Amino acid sequence: MNRIIFRLCLILALFHASQLYANVESVCKEVRFQLADNAWVGHYYLEGVMEVGSELLLQPDGKFKWYLAVGALDQYAEGTWWKNGTCIGLKAAPQYRQYLQIFPTRLDLSEQDLNVTWPDGRQKGHYVLASP
C-alpha cells in the first residue's frame, strides 16, 4: 500500500513540475530575416560567465560569426540569425553543427544586451555590444 501511495505522489509531483517548465522556451523560433532587425547588428562580447571567452558578430545581411573558448575547448561557427519578437536565434551552417558542444540556443533582447540561453536551458551571461 505504501508503495502505491509513494508512486502516486511521485507521478503527481512530476506532473506538476512539468507544468512549471512547460512555458520556458529554450530556442528562438526561426523566422525570415528582416532588414529592420539591423538595429541589433554589431560585435558583442560575452560577460557574466567565469573563465569563458566568447564573441558574436551579427552582420547586416542576416549572417553571423561566433566563437567560444573555455578550458581546452574552442568552438567556432558561422550561419544565419533572425529576430523573432523579443529574441534572436542563431542557426549554425551544417559544416559547423556537428562539432558544436556549446552553442547559444536563444538570445533574449534586453536594452542593448543579449541574454544567453544555453543548450541545457540555463540562462547565464549576456552578450554586450562592443564600444566603437
Q: What is the pLDDT along the chain (132 residues), one digit of tens a residue?
A: 556 554 444 454 444 433 334 334 688 999 999 988 999 999 999 999 999 999 999 999 999 999 999 999 999 999 999 999 999 999 999 999 999 999 998 999 998 899 999 988 888 999 999 987
C-alpha distances in angstroms, 19 versus 15, 16, 22?
7, 5, 5
Q: Note the pLDDT of residue 121.
A: 86
Task: Decide: 128 and 113 in contact? Cβ < 8 Å.
Answer: yes
Q: What is the rounded CA–CA span in Å between residue 119 and residue 105?
A: 6
Q: What is the rounded CA–CA span in Å between residue 9 and residue 62?
A: 49
H or E segment and range at residue 58: strand 52-58
Alpha-carbon torsion angle 19, 22, 24, 25, nearest 10: 180
Q: Is the pTM of the predicted complex or chain greater than 0.75? A: yes
